[in-house]
């Protein structure tokens, strides 16, 4: 099988945040999608979420309303694993983050699916070797980790287990790239992959700064999104340093701030467990941050999510990513 042979995708856990986002993305890109969840009520939720996502894309002019109506017909909703898996060439698993769920779905693909079908887990950081450990065909198991919302954020981190075939990794890479994603392949297994490790490294320091009384939750968020975050949408830290070092590039920056940065690193957080009581402090801080937002930028989770998606879409259009 080649990437171009992938025509039908099975999304497992299709009513969840990630499953409904993936199903939206695959439908938007013209694939047939089997949307699986465990009962009728959840399938109804899946349908509502996917329809709302595609309607949003149509409202924003990303797709026409004719395309929206057409691709909605390409979704098949089912609570039967056999029906979800038997005719799919690619499976995007989006079940809860527990080995037992993911291993059971690998076993179901072994039982009902084609031997050639790829099993791609959306796991945020479980090991693919462990997810695939009982499979008859561990070579077809990969991680394909999206960032929320999966239909808008381009990154997909593709990861392998001990027995994953290099050809499957490459096929998944080609598939996601052709579909319009920005895939990267991890050369080795690493819990948390790349983006979540970076996110948690930043977050640990952000939490530590709040706990030490250096700044509020609101200000640490402002420091990120009004400063480095704006550049991060355009380039990564290495390229940022390259541009910051004038004619000496990245080497120039390291000469300039390298010694000071070693002093900062000496003072930075290294703890491995969330400090006791920190979650309440953070929640209180983020509640205040939300209350201080301008009404037009949204104050509730729902309003802020909508505001985020509007801004994300504008940014993606600016970057020619939609």
Ligand X SMILES: NC(=O)c1ccc[n+]([C@@H]2O[C@H](COP(=O)([O-])OP(=O)(O)OC[C@H]3O[C@@H](n4cnc5c(N)ncnc54)[C@H](O)[C@@H]3O)[C@@H](O)[C@H]2O)c1
Question: Any idea which residue has 């990267």 for tokens?
Answer: 184
Instruction: Please identify, using beta-carbon distances, which residue of 4 and 41 lies nearer to ligand X.
Output: 41
Question: Cβ distance 56 to 28 under 8 Å?
Answer: no
Asked if 169 and 121 touch (Cβ cutoff 8 Å), the reply is no
In the bound state with ligand X, the residue whose beta carbon lies nearer, of 44 and 177, is 44
Is the peptide bond between 149 and the residue preceding it cis, with omega within 30 degrees of 0?
A: yes
CB distance 93 to 126 below 8 Å: no
Pull the structure tokens for residue 14: 């299709």
Identified binder of ligand X from the candidate list 65, 148, 178, 199, rule CB under 6 A: 148
Stretch that binds ligand X, among 52-60, 118-126, 250-258, 297-305 (CB under 6 A): 118-126
Q: Does 161 bind ligand X (CB under 6 A)?
A: no
Told to check if 120 binds ligand X by CB under 6 A, we report no
Write down the least CB distance from residue 181 to ligand X, Å.
13
**With contacts defined by CB under 6 A, how many residues of the chain interact with ligand X?**
22
Of 45 and 170, nearer to ligand X (C-beta) is 45
Residue 266 CB, nearest approach to ligand X (Å): 33
Query: Taking CB positions, which residue lies at the least distance from ligand X?
Result: 16
Ordered strands of the 32-36 beta sheet? 75-78, 32-36, 8-12, 90-93, 118-121, 141-146, 155-160, 182-185
Q: Give the pair of three-digit tokens for residue 247.
A: 């004619």
Closest distance of CB 34 from ligand X, Å = 12
Pick between residue 229 and residue 246 the one whose CB is nearest to ligand X.
229
Near ligand X in 284-303, by CB under 6 A: none
Contacts with ligand X in 29-58 (CB under 6 A)? 37-38, 42
3-class state of residue 75 by DSSP = strand
Separation CA 232–CA 237 (nearest Å): 7
Q: In angstroms, rounded to a whole number, what is the distance separating the alpha carbons of residues 42 and 13?
A: 9
Interface pick for ligand X out of 3, 9, 18, 142 (rule CB under 6 A): 18
Using CB under 6 A, which of the segments 92-100, 184-192, 227-235, 257-265 binds ligand X? 92-100
Q: Which of 13/285 has CB closer to ligand X? A: 13
- Tell me the angle at which helices 195-211 and 278-291 cross, rounded to the nearest 10 degrees: 90
10 near ligand X, rule: CB under 6 A:
no
Q: Which stretch binds ligand X (CB under 6 A): 83-91, 116-124, 151-159, 251-259?
A: 116-124
The residue whose two tokens read 């990630």 is: 18
Pairing of strands 90-93, 75-78: unpaired
Q: Residue 189 — left, alpha, or beta (φ > 0 → left; ψ -120 to 50 → alpha)?
A: beta
As beta bridge partners, residue 11 has 35, 92
Given 3, 16, 92, 144, the residue binding ligand X (CB under 6 A): 16
Give the residues lining the site for ligand X (CB under 6 A). Answer: 12-13, 15-19, 37-38, 42, 94-97, 101, 105, 122-124, 145-146, 148
């Amino acid at each position: 099988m080649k990437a171009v042979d992938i025509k039908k995708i099975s999304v497992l856990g299709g009513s969840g945040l990630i499953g409904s986002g993936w199903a939206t993305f695959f439908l938007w890109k013209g694939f047939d999608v089997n949307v699986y969840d465990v009962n009728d009520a959840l399938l109804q939720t899946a349908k509502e979420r996917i329809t709302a996502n595609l309607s949003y894309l149509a409202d924003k002019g990303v797709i026409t309303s004719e395309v929206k109506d057409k691709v909605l017909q390409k979704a098949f909703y089912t609570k039967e694993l056999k029906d979800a898996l038997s005719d799919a060439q690619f499976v995007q698993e989006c079940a809860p983050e527990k080995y037992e769920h993911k291993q059971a779905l690998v076993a179901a693909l072994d039982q009902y699916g084609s031997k050639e079908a790829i099993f791609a887990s959306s796991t945020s950081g479980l090991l693919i070797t462990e997810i695939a450990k009982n499979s008859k065909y561990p070579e077809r198991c990969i991680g394909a980790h999206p960032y929320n919302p999966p239909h808008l954020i381009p990154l997909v981190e593709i990861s392998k287990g001990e027995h994953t075939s290099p050809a499957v990794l490459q096929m998944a890479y080609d598939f996601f790239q052709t579909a319009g994603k920005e895939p990267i392949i991890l050369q080795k297994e690493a819990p948390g992959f790349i983006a979540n490790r970076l996110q948690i490294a930043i977050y640990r320091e952000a939490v530590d700064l709040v706990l030490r009384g250096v700044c509020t939750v609101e200000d640490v968020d402002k420091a990120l999104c009004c400063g480095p975050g704006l550049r991060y949408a355009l380039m990564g830290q290495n390229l940022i340093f390259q541009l910051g070092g004038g004619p000496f590039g990245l080497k120039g920056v390291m000469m300039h701030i390298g010694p000071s940065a070693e002093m900062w690193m000496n003072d930075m957080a290294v703890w491995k467990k969330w400090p006791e009581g920190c979650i309440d402090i953070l929640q209180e801080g983020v509640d205040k941050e939300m209350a201080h937002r301008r009404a037009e930028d949204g104050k509730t989770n729902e309003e802020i999510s909508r505001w985020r998606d509007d801004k994300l879409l504008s940014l993606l259009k600016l970057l020619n990513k939609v």
